[in-house]
Structure 1
Amino acid sequence: MVSTVQEDAWVDAEREYKLGLRAGKLVCQNPKGKSLASVPKWLKETETAESLLALADWLAEHELDCLHTVERWMLRSLPIPRAVVTEIWADSAWRDCIENMVVVPVAAGGTFDLENAGLLKDVDAKRGLGVIDLDGETQWIKTDSFAVPHPILIGDLEELRELAGDLGIRQAIDQLYRPIHQPTREQLDLTSINDFSGGHFEQLNFATSHCRRLGYPVRGGYATCRIWENNALIEARYFIGDEYPESPTWTGGLVFVDESQQPQKINSIGPVTFSEGVRMASEIYAKRKVDATEEDQ
């Protein structure tokens, strides 16, 4: 599968010009082989240019799809067949998303072997998944399945962060440095978290726009985040308002409901679900209008 176009790859175009793609943008060379600062208007309108731009759009969508898929693997913490990553590794769009992620072996019964977590660096059909362990050594995951665990499940998270920092490793998906949240003892018996209530937005429009940019759908006045954990689908809902779009609004509580729309006590939901729900609420709340009295506190 083609996933990128190399910067030095050119295709013949009209009038002996050449066209290519660089970082998703159309670039060209004149007949003398000189790269031009911009593509002439007439050349942009040719069939060759339109075909390349269509390819660029497809590549961008493909890269986003890869990114969202790997993030779902992490949020759902479900076993992934090793054969899947063996097949997709050659595609640089997939590889850029999964490489450097923390992965763990999954036993036949579905148990995560968190003690053998490592940073994914290589994939080989015969040897398995090559990871860098906490000792900085390369190990091979040979189990039929692996998982991309949510950071709240990783016991050696701080050590893996240090290792990644020492190696200069960066992740395409926020895993190692993703904010994680755990309930306090007082919150365990509650069905609503009010730590992020009272956030003021001058218009409901502003709040919903922030939600869209952060990737959280809004339904019935609530920003939502669905998490599949422990064989159950739970939806975190954070109230942002349900008045007219131009009216001022104040945020409310964060609740967790099951598929029957029943609110759940905090002590009955999984750690990933709670962490992601609070992450959503805190990110939206951070975009509120802060007045002078709040800034002085």
Structure 2
Amino acid sequence: MAWLAAGEGYEIALIDGKVAARSATGRAAGRQLKSLPKALREHPEVDRLRRLAEWLDRHEAACTAQVDAWMVSSLPVPTALLASVWQDEAWQGALRDTAVVGDDPDEVGFLRDATSSGELKVVNLDGETVRLSPRTVTLPHPVLLPDLDDVRDFAAELGIVQRVEQIHRATWHKPEGLEDKATEVRDYAGGVFPHRFGLAARATSLGYRVSGGYATCAVRDSGRGVEAAVWIGEPYYDAETATGALTWHDADGRTVRLAEVGPVAWSEGMRMAAALYAGRKIEEGKDA
């Protein structure tokens, strides 16, 4: 970003998301200062840059959240849309190196570029850069990738780092032999927390929604919306609480039988339950 005049003898700019200053006069002209001079701290231009930095942070977070939603829901994304937002650094950072699938569901590649003509450049699992022009692409949830371990190994060889957690996302596969009428999973039930507020705060910090007595996450799986829910205690309950069972509900609020829960919804629900349980109170000592 260009340096802007601010006050007598100073210039300011946004560098790495923070307002930086440098002297514009004298022998120190052009030298960046270690901190903002007192004379600049309340300057209108400094305040304007701070507000811009806050907006950029929110924009980056929103782009990342949208790409994550596309991935979790395996929604088809128009290639033209990716091309139109690619020039935005925040969108590019969220999308770059995500695994995408075009017309051939067996051809997975890591997104490296999207041209204004609507063409995507991806690195396939053979290490070759190829050009794709499908009408839409999907950002597959890792539980849907049949050779996930191979994809992870190849990504490590390329040094790929994804802003949106995709290929290294923790996954759970639904076990076989579930009872036909079973509707809940208790693998991560019984995690004790000193109070409900702490458990709710943990859920919120992990990106999950807290509604009533539940922590929830919404997933679109196999063409329908499903919500996974973990009981975290009655609202405003101020005593010790514990994680409850994990269940799934359809768009009308009806409980979904475990046998009918799709692979993405199962994995994401278990991921949420495990993440909440991991913050439980651990007893110490010989009787723990």
TM-score normalised by L of structure 2: 0.93
CA distance 1:188–1:151, shift in 2 (3 Å):
farther
Q: Confirm or deny: 8 A CA contact 1:152 1:272 kept in the other structure.
A: yes
- Aligned CA RMSD, in angstroms, stands at 1.7
Mapped to 2, the partners of 1:285 and 1:250 lie a distance apart of 9
State yes or no: 1:191 paired with 2:188.
Answer: no
Aligned partners of 1:143, 1:260: CA distance in 2, in Å?
Answer: 34
1:71 alignment partner, one of 64, 68, 75: 68
Structure 1 segments (4+ residues) deviating >4 Å: 293-296
In 2, Cα distance between the equivalents of 1:156 and 1:44? 54
Q: 1:93 aligns with which of 86, 90, 94?
A: 90
1:22 aligns with 2:15: yes
* 1:232 to 1:188, Cα distance in 2 relative to 1, 3 A: farther
Say which SS state the counterpart of residue 148 (structure 1) adopts.
Answer: coil
Deviation of 1:156 after TM superposition, in Å, equals 2.2
C-alpha spacing 1:174/1:200, structure 2 compared with 1 (3 Å): same
Give distance in 2, aligned partners of 1:195 and 1:238: 11
Q: Structure 1 residue 295: deviation in Å?
A: 9.9
Query: Would the aligned equivalents of 1:21 and 1:27 in 2 still touch at CA under 8 Å?
Result: yes
Residue pair 1:76, 1:227 contacting (<8 A) in 2 also: yes
SS of corresponding position for 1:152 = helix
Aligned partners of 1:41 and 1:71: how far apart in 2?
A: 41
**Which structure has greater helix proportion?**
1
Q: TM-score, normalised by structure 1?
A: 0.91
Aligned residue pairs, count: 283
**1:117-266 counterparts in 2 under 5 A?**
117-126=108-117, 128-187=119-178, 189=180, 190-242=182-234, 244-266=236-258
Shift of 1:125: 3.6
CA distance in 2, matches of 1:180, 1:209: 23
- C-alpha spacing 1:243/1:68, structure 2 compared with 1 (3 Å): closer
Quote the residue 1:12 is aligned against. 5
Give 1:127 deviation, angstroms: 7.0
Q: Distance in 1 between matches of 2:105 and 2:8?
A: 60
Q: Any gaps of 5 or more consecutive residues in structure 1?
A: 107-112
Question: Per the alignment, do residues 65 and 244 of structure 1 end up closer, same or farther by CA in structure 2, a change over 3 Å counting?
Answer: closer
- DSSP 3-state at the match of 1:194: coil
By how many angstroms is 1:293 displaced?
6.8
Distance (whole Å) between structure 2 residues aligned to residue 243 and residue 105 of structure 1 = 45
User: What stretches of structure 2 of length at least 5 have no aligned partner?
Assistant: none
> Given that residues 200 and 289 in structure 1 are in contact (C-alpha distance below 8 angstroms), is that contact kept between their aligned partners in structure 2?
yes
Contact 1:226–1:235 at 8 Å: present in 2 too? yes
2: CA distance, partners of 1:234 / 1:127: 32
Matched residue type, 1:212? T
Shift in alpha-carbon separation, 1:207–1:127, aligned structure 2, 3 A: closer
Distance 1:243 1:48 in 2: 44
Q: Determine if the alignment matches structure 1 residue 280 to structure 2 residue 251.
A: no
CA–CA separation in structure 2 for the residues paired with 1:58 and 1:294: 51
- 1:61–1:238: structure 2 CA closer, same or farther, 3 Å change rule? same
